[in-house]
């Protein structure tokens, strides 16, 4: 007899369906074999599929791209918090998710969910020699955390980039983020993850654990807003606190479904 799994598809970092970054959230009674989670994520073919298991007081959470398991994901955590709040454990003031990046606390604040994440330490590095081939344009500066962060002069450059994803695989860092000052937001960015089987991540929460710390220092601000200038678009709010960052955003439900495996 097939196992039936509840799955929700949620658009994160947005207030409208078809915006933000879609994530699938599978609500489980117990953990699944890793190969099965990989196959479900591959079948969904979204940037991330989250697998959440309620425990006595908290939740176990893992994230998978169509290619592999990852250590930290912002939009899928936001989507999971939305699902928990609406369908699993309504009324929780704080939801604690036990993950490969430690315990991540999420608090509902009106229509937003505020996530307590680690902020990546950045070090300035040389601009990669082949970056012109990858992006068709050369940034003014480059920084490395978990990911490679490239800084440009204005948001028009960010929006115009048409990457060579095959060439991008040769760059250092797990993901690649490009960012510039914004006109309506503190910063504008785009994120790319071909090493994880995701060409462009529509709105990347963990990427802003690099992007917001950079702009907080440059702008002298603790509270920032960022816009991810992908085709779908999305808005993120950030507040720096030492080596942590509170990332906030909204989410909307796109679909409920059942998986039979």
Active-site residues, by number, are: 48
Consecutive H or E run containing 131: helix 131-135
Give one DSSP letter per residue of 132-198, joined into a string: HHHHSS--SEEEESSSEEEE-S-HHHHHH----HHHHTTSSSSSEEEEEE-SSSSEEEEEEEGGGTE
- By 3-state DSSP, what share of the chain in percent is helix, strand and coil, each rounded to 5? 20, 40, 35
Instruction: Please measure the distance between the N-terminal and C-terminal CA atoms of the chain and give it in whole angstroms.
Output: 9
CB neighbour list of residue 31: distance below 8 Å, 6 or more residues apart: 51, 53, 60
> Is 77 in contact with 206 (CB distance < 8 Å)?
no
Separation CA 35–CA 33 (nearest Å) = 6
What is the sign, positive or negative, of the torsion defined by CA atoms of 83, 85, 88, 93?
positive
Tokens of 192: 């790319």
Separation CA 237–CA 19 (nearest Å) = 16
């Amino acid at each position: 007899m097939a196992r039936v799994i509840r799955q929700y598809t949620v658009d994160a970092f947005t207030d409208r369906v078809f915006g933000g970054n879609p994530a699938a959230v599978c609500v489980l009674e117990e953990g699944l074999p890793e190969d099965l989670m990989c196959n479900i994520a591959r079948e969904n073919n979204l940037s991330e599929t989250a697998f959440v298991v309620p425990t006595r007081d908290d939740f176990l959470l893992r994230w998978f791209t169509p290619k592999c398991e990852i250590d930290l994901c912002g939009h899928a955590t936001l989507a999971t918090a939305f699902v928990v709040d609406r369908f699993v454990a309504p009324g929780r003031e704080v939801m604690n998710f036990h993950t490969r990046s430690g315990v991540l606390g999420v608090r509902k604040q009106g229509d937003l969910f505020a996530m307590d994440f680690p902020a990546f330490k950045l070090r300035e590095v040389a601009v990669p020699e082949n970056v012109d081939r990858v992006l068709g344009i050369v940034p003014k500066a480059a920084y490395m955390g978990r990911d490679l962060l490239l800084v440009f002069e204005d948001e028009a450059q960010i929006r115009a980039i048409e990457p060579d994803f095959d060439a991008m695989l040769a760059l250092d860092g797990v993901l690649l983020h490009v960012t510039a000052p914004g006109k309506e937001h503190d910063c504008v960015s785009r994120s790319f993850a071909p090493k994880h089987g995701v060409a462009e991540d529509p709105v990347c929460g963990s990427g802003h654990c690099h992007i917001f710390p950079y702009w907080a220092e440059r702008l002298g601000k603790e509270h920032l807003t960022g816009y991810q200038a992908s085709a779908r678009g999305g808005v993120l709010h950030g507040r720096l606190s030492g080596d942590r960052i509170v990332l906030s955003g909204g989410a909307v439900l796109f679909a409920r479904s059942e998986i039979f495996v």
